[in-house]
Each structure stands twice: as C-alpha cells, then as structure tokens.
Amino acid sequence: MFVKKLNINLEKVIFLIILVIGIGFRFIGVYPGYPHHSDEAAYSSALTMILNKNLDPARYDYPSGAAIINYLFFKLLFIPFGWLKFYVSSLWDFVDGFLKFPLSTVDYQRIFSLTVLGPQQINTLYWGRYIAAGFGVGIIFLTYLLSKKIFNIKVGLISSFLVAVNYRQVLNSHLGLQDIYNGFFLLLTLYLIYLFIEKPSKKNYIFAGIFNGIFFSIKFQVFGFVALFAGHLIGSFNKSLGWMANFKRLFLSRNLLISLLTSIFTVLLINPYHLINFELFKDTQIYVFSKYGGGANVLNVYPISYLYHIGIGEILSILTLLGFVLTIIKYFRKSLIINLAIFQFLLTFFYLTRGGFYTRNFVTVTPLLLILASIFILDFSSLIFTKLIPKFKGRDLMWGICLALFLFIISFNNIKYSYMVLKVYTKEWNEKIIAEWVNKNIPQNATVSAHSNTPIPEKDSNRLIYEPDVAFSLDEFAAQNADYAISNSAWSTNSFYWWMGGDPVVYAKHYWNKPLDILEYSYPAIALRELEQYAVYIVSKPWIAPDVDFMVVKIPKFKVLSTKLIESFDFKGGQMGWIKDGKFWLEKDNLTWKSGELEIQEEPLLLPSIRWSSEPIETLGWNGFKIEYSIKSESTNKNLKTGYIFVSFYNNSDDARNSRNRIGVRLSERANPTGSWLKENLIGKIPEGARYMTIGFSNYAPNQSLVSLSNVNVYKADVDVDLGGWKVGTIKIDQNNLYPNSHGNL
C-alpha cells in the first residue's frame, strides 16, 4: 500500500512539474510578445462588446465563443483590477483634491480609456493573450485528463509533457488567436463524451452537449457533433440485445436528443447576432469558404510536411503514426473517438480545403496526435522493460529514467524552440526599434522608399512607393530618386508562399521540402538578396519567434570610370552558350530562340525560377562591370513590370554552372511593355570572393507578357560607388525569415 501510495504521489509531483514547465513556457514572453495580429478576433470583439454595451462581436468570420470568454474575463477580472490599480496609484490625487470621488463622467471616461484600457487600448491586447496563455495551460491539463481517462496515468503524463513543450502550442499560447480555445474545448468535449460512454447519465449527456456547443462556437467546426454521436453509439450498443432494441437505444435515445438540443441551444445562445445580421454573416462565410479553398478535394502535401518537420517533429511524427496503427490494432474501441476527431480534422485540412496553408489550425489537433505518440512510446518501452529485460531490483527505476531521457531527446527541438519563443518575446517589438533607429540615423529631408505602414523619419522625410508591381529593387528605387529603402518582411516576403498551397497540384509532390533552389532565383528573392548587400541596418527576430523584420538600405550611386569589352552576344547564329535554366522537373518551358534574340513567351503556371542563363564569365581581377543590352516587352497591359536581367556571382565555375552558393547578385530595372526595343545598361561592383558571374534573363509577369533580349555586351569596368559614408556588406537575411516555413512563420 505504501509503495502504491508513493507511486501515486510521485506521479502527482511529476504532473505538477510538467504543469509548471507549461505555465512558464506559455506566460513568459506574452509581454511584449508578438506585435498586433489582424486575426486576434477574441480580444478585439470583446472590446467592441464592452464599448458598445452589447454582445455583438461586430465581425462574423468567427463565432462569438472566444470573444464572450474574453468579454467575461475583461469585465470580471481585468477591468476591476485595472481600476483597483488606478485607485491605489492615485490615492494621493484624491487626498489632495486633484481628483474627486466619485469620479465625474468626463474623468471616468478619460481614465477608463487611457489608463484602464491603455493607450490605443493596448492593454486589451495583452489581456486577451494572457487569457489564451491560460487556456494553453488548460490544454496540458485536459490532455492529461483525457489520456488518463482513456488509457492510464502514464500515458497521461507522457502526453501532457509532450504538449507542455510542443513548440506550436507554446507559440500560439502567446497570441490571442482562436486556435488555443478551439483545442481546449475540443479536448473538453471529448473528455465529457468519454464520461457518458462510461456512465450514460442525463447529466453527462447535457454537459457534453453544452461544451460541444461552445466548441462549435469557437470556429464553426462540426467535429464535436460527429464525436458526440459516435460516443453515443459506442456507449449504447449492446451485442446481447436484438437489432430493434439496439436501434431504439442508438437512434431514439432521449439522452442523445437532449445532448444535441443542448448543443444547438448553446450555439444559438452564444451567437444571436450572427442570426440578427444573417445576410452579413452569410456573405462573410462565403468569403471565408473561398479563402480557405473550400471544396478543393485535393491532397495538399505542404501541411503534412510542416507537421513532420516543425509542428510535431520528425521522430514524434513517426511515433504518432505508429501509435495510430497500434490503437487500431490493440485499442480500437478505446481510441475510436479521438481517432475519429483526428480523421475529420486532417481530412478537412489536408484534402477537403486548403486550410492547411494556415498551419496554426493544427494547434487544435496536435494534443490528440501526441496522445497517439504517447501510447506507442509507453507500450514499446513496456515491451522492452517488462518482456525483454529480465526482472531485477531497480528495473522500474531504470525504465522511468530511460523513458524520461528518451522523451527529452525526442522533444529536444520542441524544448529549444519553445525556450526561444519566451526568450525572444521578452524583447521589444521590431517596429518600435526600427522607428527609433530611423529617427536617429536617417538624415532629415531624406527620400525613403517604404511601404505605407513602415516607419520612416518623422520630420521632413518623403515616402516613396515600395511595392512589388511598382518599385522593388535598387535600380527601381534609384529611378525614383530614393536615398534609402526600408524593406518590411510582412509585405516583402508575400511572394514566397505559393509553394505551400498545393497549386498546381501536379507540382505538390516536389514540395515536401521547401524549394529553396527555386525561391532563390525568383524575382522577389533576387531583389531582396541584392538589397541586403547594401543594407546598413537590420532588426529581426528568429523565425521560431516571428516578428515583422525591417532592413534599411542605402541606395548606391554607381559611376563608371573606364570599360573594356569582354563578351558580346548578338544571338544571330544561335543561343551562344546561353542555356534554359531553372526548369527542374518541368518538361516544357516558355524559352525560345530566334535569330538575333532570346524570347520568354507568355505562359502561365510555370516555375518563377525559369530563365535564360549565360555561361560563366571569369571576373578575376575585375573591380566592376557594365552590361549593355536591348530588351523588348509586349503586353496588352501597359502598366506591367516585365523582363529583366540579373548578374549572379560565384566563387568557382562549378557553382556558377549549377546555380548554387551564390555570393552576390545585381539586378536591373524591369522593362515596361512598350512593344519597342529599349537600350538599357546594368552597372555594378564585383563582390569580394567572386571569381565568376553569370547573366540571367527572366520575366516578372510571364502570364501576361512576351519579352525578348538582344545585343548583350559585357564590359570589365572600373566602377566607383557612392554610399554617402555608410558601410555595407555585413548583413545577411536569415533563410527562414526570408522564406518563411509557414504563413508569417505562425
């Protein structure tokens, strides 16, 4: 009895330690945390409810469940605490008579708006995030309860640990998005379903119905209804009864009807304004359905790859799959409800929709997947230590130590990433850092190319357009007479998500890994890689704890002092050593030669890396280069940016021929579709360490234009660069920041 009691107490201590770890990972770093996220509907709708003094969420892309939860916490906890804090800190103002009690209406509104809610209501953002962090801790607890209920306490401890340190659970617990609430109420609904399977009382059915209604009211997901019905079937079916008796128990059950009606009533109670504003709600849901690619009915490889590489981890993903097989063979009835919930979820986000593009959706189902992994881990370790290893004193202790060590090893990346989240998010927002830096370091009266929401000097500065279809590269900024450019990763990286969508479907199998070799030779990547060579300042956070990154670039002024002709390409007798490049697995291309010119024909749905490339040109001993060329662009859309050339630099000819290990790049302006030949030139410096260069010719808008290149003359040049006294060349954008692993790395 003593040993059994000791084991029970030890398991409680272990779970308490797991809970403390989970709390630390979720609450540390909430402030300052991640900057504003447009999809944090819960806190913003709750604030709207408070200000408007009703329960209208004022947005209908989500149900009102999470918003009402935030509303209740705001009203019952955070706002009273805010007033208490104000009164305590302002006590002497009341004593001195500066403030009168009770407060006047004007003072009340002013203090409530500026002090309790905070400047620009910033406090409510953090209130919402602390609530989400609390629900994130609740997920750990419910994972423990659910897996303990279905299997045993050891599975509960293993699964709760895996959830406590899971990187995506930790990251999403730092934001007030819907997904943490969704995961919490799915687990709670499933737990209550297992309760009525075990004890089919009316009370258990009612509670399951209530929380299923709340779960549906978080993200409009029906998985709980299916699980509810399946749980009723499992709990009600009795082999000893005849088919008619079973039919009545299964389909004419009063408890089932009460549970379903309770769910529906709960949904209606939480979401009345969705019915009151039904037309707006309907139009919004049509948009959401389209945004999520509803009805895709095509397997998208990307979200599977994301879960495998990042969301769960490689080893844990394999263990999850093995756990699923094990539950089908050994624990079919026990695990049917959670497997059914997993199946519905993955079917929806892997196949029926394109919603898997938004990887934060998988935060909901991750705890269930980790329960499967936990089952396999426990059963396999049990097989080793109870069947294969002979019994000896201390065997159970060794089993526990080995199991703990194994869990640490397979969770190491998750632990490391989770620690980085809380460490990085204790630092200030990048947008505040960059705003302070530009005001101190960029001169007054400077002309700056920057997106509209990117900070530039507050006094006497002139903002120019920084947009992919207008101006996006050094020469295009220079053509606008810009002195500086500031890239904003929230906008500059938008062109790097196409491979995640599984479109065109025939290419999806090639995107199990991020296609870096394709991305590096797309126009936006070339432009950003060129900018980093002239960057004077960068503020960024690791991709693991994403933020909006900013890079300040000094626009250089090139001056050619002397030239010597090295190569000339008129293309009259053939391609003159230029090759079709960047095709990878494609059999067809839109690259053609005709006498005197290279063409890139109008063709949709080809890889952005497709280009013409010259043979390597040796640059040893060169200071700089100048390229003269003629380019023609044709399109019915005269506002397009189309063809361009670029020069890639390499250390050796082998790298140059295989387009790998590029150490620098120089990019021309994009041509406008005038329909006439235009004579242009590209001037640049040879980067340190470069011994070879290749010239690339590509098209920014191949689906709308035809471009041609002719008469390319390459000069060795003595080039002077004016950088206004700035030092450049030491800044490098992290690969995972430039090419995110998910949408915004969230």
Write the secondary structure of 618-632 as one string of H (helix), E (strand) and C (coil): ECCCCCEEEEEEEEE
Q: What percent of the chain has pLDDT over 70?
A: 97
Q: What percent of the chain has pLDDT over 90?
A: 82
Number of residues in the chain:
746
Q: Please check whether residues 356 and 375 belong to one and the same domain.
A: yes
pLDDT of 1 over the 50 cut: no
Q: Please check whether residues 537 and 600 belong to one and the same domain.
A: no
In a domain, 728, yes or no: no
Q: Please check whether residues 532 and 565 belong to one and the same domain.
A: no
pLDDT-based confidence at residue 2 (cuts at 50, 70, 90)? very low
SS3 446: coil
- What pLDDT, on the 0 to 100 scale, is given for residue 95? 80
Q: Measuring CA to CA, how many Å separate 477 from each of 6, 290, 486, 558, 646?
A: 71, 36, 11, 13, 16
Residues 402 and 380 sit within 8 Å (Cβ to Cβ): no
pLDDT-based confidence at residue 15 (cuts at 50, 70, 90)? very high
Q: Please check whether residues 303 and 448 belong to one and the same domain.
A: no
Over residues 64-83, mean pLDDT: 97
Tokens standing for 251? 């389909």
Tokens standing for 167? 């990187």
| This prediction's pTM | 0.91
Over residues 607-618, mean pLDDT: 94
Spatial neighbors of 177 by CB under 8 A, at least 6 apart, are 37, 39, 40, 42, 132, 360
In a domain, 727, yes or no: no
| Residue at which a domain ends, from 354, 388, 422 | 422
Q: Of 235, 142, 133, which Cα lies nearest the Cα of 193?
A: 235
Q: Please check whether residues 47 and 101 belong to one and the same domain.
A: yes
- What pLDDT, on the 0 to 100 scale, is given for residue 248? 72
Q: Of 470, 495, 485, which Cα lies nearest the Cα of 533?
A: 485
Q: Of 720, 718, 712, which Cα lies nearest the Cα of 694?
A: 712
Q: Which amino acid is located at 559 in the chain?
A: K
Greatest CA separation for the chain? 99
The whole-angstrom separation of Cα 581 and Cα 15 is: 57
Q: Tens of pLDDT along 323-375?
A: 999 999 999 999 999 999 999 999 999 999 989 999 999 999 999 999 999 99
Over residues 672-678, mean pLDDT: 95
Q: Please check whether residues 401 and 438 belong to one and the same domain.
A: no
Residues 191 and 185 sit within 8 Å (Cβ to Cβ): no
In a domain, 33, yes or no: yes
In a domain, 530, yes or no: yes
- What pLDDT, on the 0 to 100 scale, is given for residue 54? 95
| Residue at which a domain ends, from 379, 397, 422 | 422
SS3 730: coil
pLDDT-based confidence at residue 511 (cuts at 50, 70, 90)? confident
Number of domains within the chain: 3
Residues 218 and 65 sit within 8 Å (Cβ to Cβ): yes
For residues 296 and 15, which has the higher predicted lDDT (pLDDT)?
15
pLDDT of 3 over the 60 cut: no
Half-sphere exposure of 655 (CA within 13 A, CB side): 16
Lowest mean pLDDT among 504-518, 569-583, 605-619: 504-518
Spatial neighbors of 216 by CB under 8 A, at least 6 apart, are 63, 65, 222, 224, 225, 263, 267
Spatial neighbors of 110 by CB under 8 A, at least 6 apart, are none
Q: Please check whether residues 275 and 295 belong to one and the same domain.
A: yes
**Alpha-helix runs per DSSP H in 90-239:** 91-95, 105-111, 122-150, 153-165, 167-172, 178-198, 202-219, 223-236
Q: Please check whether residues 151 and 271 belong to one and the same domain.
A: yes
In a domain, 258, yes or no: yes
Q: Tens of pLDDT along 263-315?
A: 999 999 999 999 999 999 999 999 999 988 888 888 889 999 999 999 999 99
- What pLDDT, on the 0 to 100 scale, is given for residue 6? 44
pLDDT-based confidence at residue 14 (cuts at 50, 70, 90)? very high
- Which CATH number does the domain housing residue 712 bear? 2.60.120.260
In a domain, 636, yes or no: yes
Q: Please check whether residues 135 and 117 belong to one and the same domain.
A: yes
| Residue at which a domain ends, from 404, 422, 440 | 422
Q: Please check whether residues 521 and 585 belong to one and the same domain.
A: no
Q: Please check whether residues 634 and 510 belong to one and the same domain.
A: no
Q: Chain centroid to CA 721: how far?
A: 39
Tokens standing for 52? 């408007």
Across the chain, what does the average pLDDT equal? 93
Q: Please check whether residues 574 and 545 belong to one and the same domain.
A: no
Domain that holds residue 498: 430-556+733-745
β-bridge pairing 535-539 and 706-722: unpaired
In a domain, 515, yes or no: yes
In a domain, 396, yes or no: yes
